[in-house]
Amino acid sequence: MSEQPSEQRPNLDLGAIRARLDRAQGREYWRCLEELAETDGFQEMLHREFPRQAAEWEDADGRRNFLKLMGASLALAGLGACTRQPTEFVMPYATAPEQLIPGKPQFYATAVTLSGVATGVLMESHMGRPTKVEGNPQHPASLGSTDAITQASVLTMYDPDRSQSIIYLGEIRSFGSFLSMIKGALKDQVAKNGSGIRILTETVTSPSLGAQIGDVLKLFPSAKWHQYEPLGRGNARDGGKLAFGQYVNTVYKFDQADVVLSLDSDFLTGGTMPVRYARDFMSKRRVRGSEASMSRLYAIETTPTATGGKADHRQPVKPSQMAATVRQVAAAVGAGEAGGPATGTTTRFLSALIADLNAHKGSSIVIAGDDQTPEVHALAHAMNSALGNVGKTVFYTDPIEAQPVDQLASLKELLADLDAGQVDILMVMGGNPVYNAPPDLDVAGKIVKAKMRVRLGLYADETSDLCQWQLPETHSLEAWGDARAYDGTVTIMQPLIAPIYPASKSMSELLGVFTDSPEPTSYDLVRAYWQKQHAGTDFESWWRHAVHDGVVKDSALPVKTLAAKAPSASSAANGGDLEVSFHADSFLYDGRFANNGWLMELPRPVTKLTWDNAALVSPATAHRLGLQNSDYVELKSGGHTVWAAVWILPGQPDDSVALQLGYGRNKAGRVGNGAGFNSFLLRTSNQLSFGPVSLRKLGKQFPLASTQQHYLIDDGKSELEEREQKKRGILRGSTVAEYLKNPEFAQEVVETPGKGLTIYPETFKYEGYAWGMVIDLTACTGCGTCTAACQAENNISVVGKEQVLVTREMHWIRVDRYFSGDMQNPSTHFQPVPCMQCENAPCELVCPVAATAHDEDGINNMVYNRCVGTRYCSNNCPYKVRRFNFMRFADLDTESLKMVRNPDVTVRTRGVMEKCTYCIQRISQAKITSEKQDRRVHDGEIVTACEAACPTQAITFGDINDPNSRVAKLKQEKLNYGMLADLNTRPRTTYLAELRNPNPELQAETKG
């Protein structure tokens, strides 16, 4: 590409040309004098098929290479712009920081936030590079686990597409020039009491930041602070206000609840819900031995979620019917009046549900989802009050937000001020309203009416485009800060690394510009705030403890006693023949993670889609409208039009289309640009949850990359899959009642050959350790956190949509999803599948170069540098867990991405096979430590990445030879079975059969 068309034309030898023409016999044509002179340049041009620059595009992988090149050059451009040394240290520390042992990771407590809600984490740091997120066992929202989004946060930090320098109208500027400009503007505002200043942020739960904004507002009393976020806890906040007349924060104790009703709430895997909820909920559903009591989960849903999939009973309802249905239940449990008879719901389901709720007063929970309207939230509060759950399973506290507001109203007020020309300085800190605000508000058109627009953002995105100043924001792992968890617990967040792009500023540092001079660092600000709050004398020791633990002791908000009143029925729901409902994407959330490859390629729990969102419709609706998977359709709603691809999803309510938000961005970065379609365009301010829609087939196809239905869907496909999977005993399950009657049911599906059936001697005796794993299918919520954690730990590549379409995704642990029962309302089952580490591994036998070899602990090891890539092992693997590097998937060029890799794990190159290793690097480390101390490895000393991250502790790893280990005990359970063990593979990874707890009254129609 660098080749310039600077060829020098040689001087033409006219004499020679004349001589040649004289020699010519007959007629001879020439194209130019150069041809006659036979210059090298012309000869070369003749032999070149394409002109110079065009030749670079010859290879078929042109686009891929171009992207790679662009990536590399962009990243290098970023590094080149800094004047300092590369961030990696090539010299040993002359004076090493205390406790730093080269090659040993260190762990620091901090927090990762989503919509302001914090999850406490421990960051693994290798020589100053954070590489992997682990949960913080002391943090109430985490208890040692995380979710997928948290796992992937480290990749966002290293994203080469992040905003890297201060930009003013397309030109790079210094912070100094920004300062002089803003200080000048602020001087003018002093006289006006700051009436021209507007600050727009996302939800703020940080106490210090809240106080700091308060200080700014004190200094400029007429300035205004607005908050806007499209998703998050907004509906819950407004619902609380509706029920109680004041903003509250709700904390649920699922480990106390026997009956749970979820109203479209994905509390097991969704958005801002703490990981803690999934863990608490599953702690009530664990069946061991003869202890078989289980809570029961009902779900009423407008689109299938993982939580609905785990529910014992699930009822799909059309979005517009939701409120009426909920009202019906509420009335029956003594909260408010019914809003008329609901149509389209199974009354049998409702009556059983109502009876069950009434039978469990004080030990039930009704929880509404973030995507539901405030009305439904208020009804849920009223039901909890009526059922006497408040104070037992449901607790109220003051809101965790620094200043809770109705965010849509807040945004509208700002836009009105913008329209009126009252805004001189607009600071947009975080968020991306131009992309994600309701389209009818016309944020893009109004935001430019502010005279001076300053934007602080992690990315130069759609909003940055309309601001004069773009300031790069620090990632939360790069700066000091604090945030509250779901129950109010404060974490003081410490940075793990100096900002990768030194121009980055944190929000508090930028706000410091308003009040202080010289500008304080975020460390000073956070520390000063807490010093002020701290009453005792020993602040230093308190501070050290708080930072070290990642939790500020006793900072959870105190419980309040409140009584809820049922809201009056809202005006008629704006339903229609066909309705659209909007949902946060499981992993991209509101689109802020659109440039995170790990999240983009993580299969969505229920749809198993990657790289795109889709218009989800039910099989019956698809049949009615003549739709097939991947059909391209035009959706019209709220006066806006969007083109989307259809995905048929069993369990989706009929006559409704569910859309995930967060896709279709064009300024996200290389990963997120152009993935999916932008459903925010249909989400106008009067239909934030749902609305009527019209659908028209475009007669085109748009390929969707799902990891599980890699082929054309035929009508009986799902049933076939289900029937075959059952016959083969791949996923075994039953109900608690059946289990108590016949605990051996899981053993009776297929016959497993015993040991000693062969005439050959056993090659391996496994006298030392015998590593094994048990996965509890009852506890698995299908959230995909294990896959994300594995990807982070084991340097697993992202392959891109085209490769997923041809089944080349690389995840070492996948979560399989099966449906069972009625296509309109099936139950959903999840099964995580890592390598089974078979004792009789079919893969080992067929490798011609012995690149996959057994070891004396029973692990089936991959020797990458011996692998020649015949792929025979993968063919012969009955579990299909082996992954092949068809191309050089690992990005070895982008500088910043080199830093995210785990130094203990090889980065695989093209042409080699790879698969789950049971985190062999962690096993080896523990074995070395134990050998040094002359002891065996303790149970629980080795925790695989998936096990550590799993929110519900569904995965247990350990030594089977140690009879007291957790894994050995679980393997003794009656529910324990090996997938396809009838092939005599003797898998080391086994499963505990899935149990459900259906209501006997409804059992007849549950085929579980």
- Residues of this chain that interact with other proteins (CB under 8 A) are 708, 710-712, 714, 720-722, 724-725, 727-728, 730, 806-807, 814, 816-818, 831, 833, 842, 845-850, 866-872, 875-876, 878-880, 884-886, 910-913, 979-980, 983
C-alpha distances out from residue 569 to 330, 374, 378, 574, Å: 12, 12, 11, 14
> What is the C-alpha separation between 517 and 520, in angstroms, rounded?
7
Closer residue to other proteins (CB): 466 or 916 = 916
- Residue that the structure tokens 């959903």 belong to: 828
Quickly list DSSP for 789-822: HHHHHTTPPP--HHHHHTT----SSEEEEEEES-
**Please, what is the minimum distance in Å from the beta carbon of residue 976 to other proteins?**
19
Closer residue to other proteins (CB): 803 or 917 = 803
> What is the C-alpha separation between 882 and 902, in angstroms, rounded?
21
**Please, what is the minimum distance in Å from the beta carbon of residue 874 to other proteins?**
10
Contact 508, 209 (CB under 8 A): yes
| Residue of 410, 416, 327, 443 whose CA lies nearest to 376 | 327
> What is the C-alpha separation between 495 and 493, in angstroms, rounded?
7
> What is the C-alpha separation between 239 and 262, in angstroms, rounded?
15
Closer residue to other proteins (CB): 118 or 913 = 913
**Cα–Cα–Cα angle for 294, 297, 299, rounded to 5 degrees:** 170
Contact 796, 889 (CB under 8 A): no
**Please, what is the minimum distance in Å from the beta carbon of residue 807 to other proteins?**
5
Dihedral sign of CA atoms 804, 808, 811, 815 in order: positive
Quickly list DSSP for 504-544: -B-HHHHHHHHH-SSPPPHHHHHHHHHHHH--SS-HHHHHH
Closer residue to other proteins (CB): 96 or 806 = 806
| Residue of 778, 680, 729, 690 whose CA lies nearest to 436 | 680
**Please, what is the minimum distance in Å from the beta carbon of residue 912 to other proteins?**
6
> What is the C-alpha separation between 996 and 299, in angstroms, rounded?
14
> What is the C-alpha separation between 748 and 730, in angstroms, rounded?
13
Contact 957, 772 (CB under 8 A): yes
**Please, what is the minimum distance in Å from the beta carbon of residue 868 to other proteins?**
5
**Please, what is the minimum distance in Å from the beta carbon of residue 971 to other proteins?**
21
Closer residue to other proteins (CB): 237 or 814 = 814
Closer residue to other proteins (CB): 514 or 818 = 818
**Please, what is the minimum distance in Å from the beta carbon of residue 873 to other proteins?**
9
**Please, what is the minimum distance in Å from the beta carbon of residue 1006 to other proteins?**
22
Can you give the length of the chain in residues?
1008
**Please, what is the minimum distance in Å from the beta carbon of residue 795 to other proteins?**
18
Closer residue to other proteins (CB): 350 or 912 = 912
Closer residue to other proteins (CB): 826 or 998 = 826
**Please, what is the minimum distance in Å from the beta carbon of residue 843 to other proteins?**
10
CA atoms within 13 Å, Cβ hemisphere of 520: 17
Closer residue to other proteins (CB): 55 or 849 = 849
Closer residue to other proteins (CB): 355 or 846 = 846
* Strands across the sheet containing 469-472: 171-172, 167-168, 469-472, 452-457, 425-429, 197-201, 224-227
Closer residue to other proteins (CB): 367 or 730 = 730
**Please, what is the minimum distance in Å from the beta carbon of residue 545 to other proteins?**
47
> What is the C-alpha separation between 326 and 941, in angstroms, rounded?
47
Residue 791 is which amino acid? Answer: Q
CA atoms within 13 Å, Cβ hemisphere of 177: 13
**Please, what is the minimum distance in Å from the beta carbon of residue 851 to other proteins?**
8
Closer residue to other proteins (CB): 587 or 830 = 830
Label the pairing between strands 364-368 and 852-854: unpaired
Which residues neighbour 363 within 8 Å (Cβ) at sequence distance 6 or greater?
256, 257, 258, 259, 389, 392, 393
**Please, what is the minimum distance in Å from the beta carbon of residue 985 to other proteins?**
8
Label the pairing between strands 394-397 and 559-560: antiparallel
Which residues neighbour 315 within 8 Å (Cβ) at sequence distance 6 or greater?
298, 299, 300, 301, 325, 345, 346, 349, 350, 825
φ and ψ at residue 250, rounded to 5 degrees: -110, 135
Closer residue to other proteins (CB): 623 or 710 = 710
Closer residue to other proteins (CB): 984 or 999 = 984
Closer residue to other proteins (CB): 845 or 928 = 845
The DSSP 8-state label assigned to residue 983 in this structure reads G
Closer residue to other proteins (CB): 608 or 665 = 608
Closer residue to other proteins (CB): 652 or 725 = 725
SS3 966: helix
* Strands across the sheet containing 259-263: 313-316, 296-301, 259-263, 364-368
Which residues neighbour 215 within 8 Å (Cβ) at sequence distance 6 or greater?
515
| Residue of 108, 115, 124, 140 whose CA lies nearest to 551 | 140
Instruction: Name the CA radius of gyration of the chain, rounded.
Output: 30
Closer residue to other proteins (CB): 374 or 729 = 729
**Please, what is the minimum distance in Å from the beta carbon of residue 809 to other proteins?**
11
**Please, what is the minimum distance in Å from the beta carbon of residue 860 to other proteins?**
14
**Please, what is the minimum distance in Å from the beta carbon of residue 884 to other proteins?**
7
